[in-house]
Amino acid sequence: MAKKEIDVRFKKFGTVSFTSTSKVNDFIDYLDQGKVVGTRCSKCGLDFFPPRADCFNCLGSDLEWFDAAADTGELVTFSKMKYGPVGFENDLPYTIAVADFGKYKIFGRMDNDLADEAIKIGMKVKVSANSLDNGNMNYVFKAA
C-alpha cells in the first residue's frame, strides 16, 4: 500500500520556510496564480491576514479566501536591513515593511525595484506575488 502523501506545500513560502504543513496550504497555490489571499469568516465576516484556518471569534472553521492583491493599502513603517539571519545572505540588503489595508494589515518586503528615496510612510501600496531566485515565492509591496 502506498504511503499517505503529506501536503508540504508551505515549504515554498519565503526565502527560507520554517513551516511545511498548514491548514492554509492553498495559500501557496493562490500565490502561484499571482494572488495574495487572506481569509474571511463566513459567519462573522472578520478578515484575516495572514490567512487563518480557524476564527477565534466564533470558533468556526468555515472561512473563505479573498484576494488582497486587489486592494490598496498605506505603508505604516519599514526598515532596510543590513544584516539578516542565516539563509538570507543572498537577499541582503532588503527592506521589510508593514502596510495597512483598513480591515487587515500585511507584513512583507518592499519590492527590490523601489529606490530607497521612494519608500515613505503613508505611501499607497499594492501587495504583489513575487518569485524568488531559489524557486520559492513570497509577496512584496509595490507603489500603487
Q: Tell me if 70 contacts Zn ion by CB under 5 A.
A: no
Q: Tell me if 63 contacts Zn ion by CB under 5 A.
A: no
Q: Tell me if 85 contacts other proteins by CB under 8 A.
A: yes
88 vs 75: CA distance, rounded Å: 23
28 and 9 Cβ atoms separated by less than 8 Å: yes
**Within positions 43 to 72, which residues make up the interface with other proteins, using CB under 8 A?**
49-50
Distances (CA, A) of 69 to 78, 90, 96, 99: 19, 27, 18, 12
| 57 interface partner picked from other proteins, Zn ion, none, CB below 5 to 8 A per type | Zn ion
Buried b (16+ CB within 10 A) or exposed e, 14-42: bbebeeeebebbbbbebbeeebbbbbbbe
- Residue from the set 58, 76, 98, 143 that interacts with Zn ion by CB under 5 A: 58
* Contacts to other proteins by CB under 8 A: 10, 13-19, 22, 49-50, 76-88, 91, 94, 96-98, 104-109, 121-122, 138
* Contacts to Zn ion by CB under 5 A: 41, 43-44, 55, 57-58, 60
